[in-house]
């Protein structure tokens, strides 16, 4: 009866010890994005797996590199190991729900001192040397009246889910970094092709001016100016090749390959950015793994509050032991060798100098920090998505305008060349027309690269791949 009374009192004291239940904080979300033409709102399938979004660009080389990243990236291997650790911690915490049992065997020979304290003044002690054979089965169970074990499990589960979300986020970031480096490299390939074609054009003009100079129809200044333009363009080739090599080395590292042994052949085909469905702003909370990781971190921090609160209340452990002990091995399993115990242990903190209260305040402050971090991550997600939507729309319009500029610059160059051959235009007119066409074509190549990069940025900002998307941009 006394034991039951102790348990009842402990249960009453610990009834409110488990701390607050976790509730996801509300976030004010805008009803829609600010969109510009040619965008319109669409509805992605947010329940679908955030799969190989890079395949939307239709580039087999990019697809192959992405598979190398997912299989060979050391960063991803680290994230997988962290997830395995978190899963093991969860399994260990869950074990606290069950009784713990162990089997112990001891074989020892010991000497008992004759001068040890007496247990009976009428019976003197003697020094003896003897064997001690023990075999016991022990069991214990913590009665989780304060909620400590349950909060430990909740925290471990939230941490494991956070690690899983972190792994998804790292996959998304690594593949986005790969696509960014890859499209930068391809944009430079296209720009290099433009510059090399301009070199051919400039060399042809230099040959024409040299011939006219030899015939007395052009001055040495004409030839010198055209040669200066050619030399300047040649210098730009080396700069572009250096930039290309930097992105090639970045791709090598992302795929887990040593940069000196990695190479990508130039490719000037024009990739087409996919149409990205933007959905509504609240979709980002479901799709982005970094938002999910921040939310799970809040849940883990909330569980820590429960753990800190449980420390104020009694811990109750039920325990028992059953076994045998004898000084002779031959009598170890005889009835007189039987030993057993059964009981309950209760521990209640009385004075700790404020340590438990400080731990509780630390846990609450940690939760407040995770709430603030969650709001920060959500606001950053909103900013990145809106930047991508507005930026891609602007780049679409700018790219269309550059195509018109290229057509106009080509017409101007054709007219100037014809006038120069007829002796009407000057060599400076030809140089200006050539430079204008080169600038327009390079700008178009750069804008194409920026469109591809912004598409990657927007896919990352919205959380990855989508299913059943409708076309939303041209």
Q: Name the nearest CA neighbour of 83 among 150, 157, 178, 175.
A: 157
Q: Are 149 and 294 in contact (CB under 8 A)?
A: no
Backbone angles phi, psi at 102, to 5 degrees: -150, 155
CATH for 17-104+143-311+355-462, among 3.40.50.2000, 1.20.1600.10, 1.10.3720.10, 3.90.1150.10?
1.20.1600.10
| pLDDT over 50 at 470, yes or no | no
The rounded Cα 360 to chain-centroid distance in angstroms is: 30
Q: What is the mean pLDDT of residues 213-234?
A: 83
| pLDDT over 90 at 272, yes or no | no
Q: How confident is the model at residue 160 (pLDDT cuts 50, 70, 90)?
A: very high
DSSP 260-287: GG-----------PPPPP---TTHHHHH
The C-alpha atoms of residue 174 and residue 95 are separated, in whole angstroms, by 36
Range name among 32-41, 63-72, 132-141, 300-309 with the lowest pLDDT average: 32-41
Question: What's the confidence (pLDDT) of residue 47?
Answer: 37
Residue 245: Cβ within 10 Å count: 14
Q: What is the mean pLDDT of the chain?
A: 84
* Residue bearing the bigger pLDDT, 323 or 433: 323
| pLDDT over 90 at 67, yes or no | yes
| pLDDT over 90 at 268, yes or no | no
Report pLDDT digits (tens) over 178-212: 999 999 999 999 889 888 888 887 888 788 788 87
Report pLDDT digits (tens) over 42-60: 333 433 445 788 988 889 9
Backbone angles phi, psi at 15, to 5 degrees: -60, -30
Q: How confident is the model at residue 34 (pLDDT cuts 50, 70, 90)?
A: low
The residue assigned the tokens 């909740």 is 154
Q: Could you state, in order of their start, the residue ranges of all structural domains in the chain?
A: 17-104+143-311+355-462
Q: Name the nearest CA neighbour of 311 among 356, 363, 352, 362.
A: 356
Range name among 259-268, 339-348, 387-396 with the lowest pLDDT average: 387-396
């Amino acid at each position: 009866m006394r034991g039951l009374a102790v348990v009842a009192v402990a249960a009453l004291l610990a009834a409110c010890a488990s701390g607050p239940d976790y509730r996801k904080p509300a976030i004010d979300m805008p009803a829609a994005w600010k969109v510009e033409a040619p965008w319109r709102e669409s509805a992605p399938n947010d329940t679908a797996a955030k799969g190989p979004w890079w395949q939307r660009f239709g580039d087999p080389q990019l697809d192959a590199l992405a598979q190398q990243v997912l299989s060979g990236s050391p960063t991803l291997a680290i994230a997988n190991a962290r997830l395995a650790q978190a899963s093991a911690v969860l399994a260990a915490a869950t074990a606290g729900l069950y009784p713990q049992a162990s089997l112990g065997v001891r074989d020892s020979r010991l000497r008992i001192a004759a001068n040890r304290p007496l247990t009976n003044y009428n019976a003197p002690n003697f020094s003896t040397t003897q064997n001690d054979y023990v075999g016991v089965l022990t069991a214990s169970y913590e009665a989780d009246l304060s909620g400590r074990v349950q909060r430990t499990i909740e925290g471990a589960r939230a941490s494991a889910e956070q690690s899983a979300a972190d792994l998804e986020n790292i996959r998304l970031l690594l593949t986005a970094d790969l696509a960014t480096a890859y499209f930068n490299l391809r944009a430079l390939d296209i720009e290099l092709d433009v510059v090399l074609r301009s070199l051919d054009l400039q060399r042809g003009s230099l040959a024409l001016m040299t011939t006219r100079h030899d015939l007395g129809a052009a001055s040495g200044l004409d030839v010198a100016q055209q040669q200066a333009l050619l030399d300047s363009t040649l210098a730009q080739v080396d700069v572009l090749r250096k930039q290309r090599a930097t992105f090639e080395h970045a791709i090598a590292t992302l795929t887990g390959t040593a940069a000196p042994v990695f190479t990508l052949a130039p490719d000037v085909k024009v990739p087409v950015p996919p149409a990205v469905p933007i959905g509504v702003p609240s979709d980002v909370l479901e799709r982005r793994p970094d938002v999910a990781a921040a939310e799970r971190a809040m849940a883990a921090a909330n569980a820590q509050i429960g753990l800190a609160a449980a420390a104020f209340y009694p811990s109750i452990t039920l325990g028992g032991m059953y076994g045998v002990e004898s000084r002779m091995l031959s009598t170890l399993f005889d009835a007189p060798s039987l030993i057993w115990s059964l009981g309950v242990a209760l521990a209640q903190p009385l004075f700790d100098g404020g340590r438990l209260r400080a731990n509780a305040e630390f846990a609450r402050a940690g939760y407040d920090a995770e709430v603030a971090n969650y709001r920060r991550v959500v606001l950053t997600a909103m900013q990145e998505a809106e930047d991508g939507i507005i930026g891609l729309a602007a780049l679409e319009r700018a790219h269309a305008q550059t195509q018109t500029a290229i057509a106009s610059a080509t017409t101007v160059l054709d007219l100037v060349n014809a006038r120069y051959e007829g002796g009407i235009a000057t060599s400076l007119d030809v140089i200006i027309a050539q430079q204008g066409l080169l600038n327009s074509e390079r700008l178009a190549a750069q804008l194409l690269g920026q469109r591809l990069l912004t598409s990657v940025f927007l896919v990352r900002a919205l959380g990855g791949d989508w299913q059943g998307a409708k076309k939303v941009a041209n």
